[in-house]
Amino acid sequence: MNKLCFSTYVQGNHQWYIPIYIYSVFKSYPEVPILLFCNGNLKEDVKKSLNLLDGFCDFRIVENYFNKWNIFPASKRWFIESKYLLNYDYVYIGDIDYFIIKEDYHLFEQHIEHCKTINRPYSN
């Protein structure tokens, strides 16, 4: 399998979804790292919850991301700087409030096949 990564952008009260999102990815695809970008600092309660997951799965959160950029909030996840993604062959950019459930046919394989079928570097 190629180098894979789950990623998304988080802002405001959506921070409360971070621990359960990370847990859902870990339970479904424990071999795939998670890279999240957060507008502002993490709330203390969220940090405490994340401490429970530390060491169980591979995740990284970049805080204060896009604070100075004037981009429509819902589109910020599509403007992640490539320097963060260079270590991966494929990145699944999703929503923080969608939980990841393991499927019989690996989620990334589905999208990789779709990319090949439509002859595009993305699958939506």
- C-alpha 117/C-alpha 40 separation (Å) is 39
Listed ranges 38-52, 70-84, 104-118; the one with the highest mean pLDDT = 38-52
* Summary count for the chain: helices (H), strands (E): 3, 4
Going by C-alpha positions, the residue among 63, 59, 10, 8 that lies closest to residue 41 is 63
Residues 6+ apart with CB under 8 A from 99: 20, 21, 24
The answer, yes or no, to whether residue 2 has pLDDT greater than 80, is no
Kindly report which listed range (25-34, 70-79, 89-98) carries the lowest average pLDDT score: 70-79
**Banded model confidence at residue 45, pLDDT cuts 50, 70, 90:** very high
- The structure's pTM equals 0.87
Q: What is the pLDDT of residues 50-75, one digit of tens each?
A: 999 888 889 999 999 876 667 777 77
- C-alpha 92/C-alpha 122 separation (Å) is 10
> What helix, strand, coil percent values describe the chain, rounded to 5?
40, 20, 45
Q: What percent of the chain has pLDDT over 70?
A: 96
Average pLDDT, the chain: 89
Residues 6+ apart with CB under 8 A from 114: 123
Tell me the CA distances in angstroms from 119 to 59, 73, 102, 123, one per residue in order. Answer: 31, 29, 26, 10
Greater pLDDT, 79 or 69: 79
Kindly report which listed range (23-27, 48-52, 77-81, 83-87) carries the lowest average pLDDT score: 77-81
